[in-house]
Structures are given as structure tokens and as C-alpha cells.
Chain A
Amino acid sequence: NAGVTQTPKFRVLKTGQSMTLLCAQDMNHEYMYWYRQDPGMGLRLIHYSVGEGTTAKGEVPDGYNVSRLKKQNFLLGLESAAPSQTSVYFCASSKRQATYEQYFGPGTRLTVT
């Protein structure tokens, strides 16, 4: 099993550009999450999904959109990137019955200039 994978690993964007981060998991987990991690701020939840076709806002959703068309995939979109969105983005997944144990992807390091 590959676990949780993220594409791409690194990306540099100019302000105003758009992009989509892809997360895939092969563990048949119901729940999936997108976090951003900034120095000294820990992990902050952007959006999450409790199942295929469902999404919900987390702590810091502004400027991001998500979609969960297939159970194994969770996409994070930035429609108009801003320098404040420079961060490391982590995707995670968990079983519905065990949300306390999340499996994280390797992360995407995004820089917006």
C-alpha cells in the first residue's frame, strides 16, 4: 500500500495564479483532510470530507476550495494564489471509527511570490 500520496511535492506560483493539489489514499478511508502548516502555528485544518461527495470547512477555509468526487481522492484548489498562502500543505485520511489516528501524506511545499 502506498498510503497517502500528494502531488506535487513542490510548487512556486505567482500571485493570482491558480493550482490544484491532489491527494490520494489507498486505505479505503472515509475521512480526508487538508491542513496547512506554518512555522510556530502547528497544523490548521482547511477543509475536510467525511465521505465521497461531501466537503466541509475547517478552521482556515478562505481562499481554498475542495472536491471529493471519488472516495480515494481529495483535491485542494487555490483559485487566486496570494503570498499568505505560502505554506506546507498536508493531506490526511482516517477511518470513520478512528478519527484520532490520521495518516498523513508527505506534504506539498508551496511558495507564492
Chain B
Amino acid sequence: GQSLEQPSEVTAVEGAIVQINCTYQTSGFYGLSWYQQHDGGAPTFLSYNALDGLEETGRFSSFLSRSDSYGYLLLQELQMKDSASYFCAVSPSSGGSYIPTFGRGTSLIVHP
């Protein structure tokens, strides 16, 4: 099966940089995705890493290292509106299943 670990909460100040880590235990997977969810809202897709390395999308970057079973989401120039929960997810490759498994999420609190 798949298991993903994320910190439950991270706090930072406006304008700072914050990194949200995701470690996983899975026998194989296609890639690592990140989703954002504001309170009372629906999850929205942020980024995807199919290969090792850094993917950059504006203020957000995501990194994957398969050899370390580790990934992270990097948020730069933090804004108050970035306060939300962030979920990592893997799409397993064993058995031909493409169904993602989500971590329990990290609550990011941005202070002024």
C-alpha cells in the first residue's frame, strides 16, 4: 500500500518562504501531486512531479527525490491568502492502478 507523511501544521509570516515536506512509503508510483484547499472549499490542483527535480509555477515550486522517497512544496513571497491546507498525493504504479492516495494534509498559517 501507500503511506504519505506530512507535518500537520506549519506557520510563517507574510513575505517569507515556507517548505512543506511529504515523505512516502510506496513500492512504486507515477508521480507526486500537490493540492491546495482553503477552509470550506474544494481541493485545487497545484503541481505535479513525474521526474526527480524541481518544478516551478510562479511563487510555488515542487520537488521530488525518488531515491529519498521525499518531496516538498515550496511557497515563496507568502501572502495571507496562502493560508490553507496543502495535500500531497501519489498515483501508484503497481497493479495498473492510477488512483491517487492523499496525505492527511498540512495546515499553513500565514501571519501578518
Residues of chain A having any CB pair with chain B under 8 Å: 31, 33, 40-45, 48, 50, 58-59, 90, 92, 96, 99-107
Count of chain A to chain B residue pairs whose CB atoms are closer than 8 Å in the complex: 52
Question: In the docked arrangement, what's the CA distance between A81 and B43, Å?
Answer: 25
* A43-B43, A90-B43, A104-B43 as given contacts; A99 in contact with B102, CB under 8 Å: no
Question: In the docked arrangement, what's the CA distance between A34 and B102, Å?
Answer: 13
Cross-chain pairs A/B with CB under 8 angstroms, 18 sampled: A31-B98, A33-B99, A40-B8, A40-B104, A42-B105, A43-B43, A45-B99, A45-B101, A59-B101, A90-B43, A96-B98, A99-B98, A100-B30, A100-B91, A100-B100, A101-B48, A102-B45, A107-B41
Q: How many residues of B contact A (CB 8 A)?
A: 23
B104, A99: Cβ atoms closer than 8 Å: no
Residues of chain B having any CB pair with chain A under 8 Å: 8, 30-31, 33, 35, 41-45, 48, 50, 87, 89, 91, 98-105
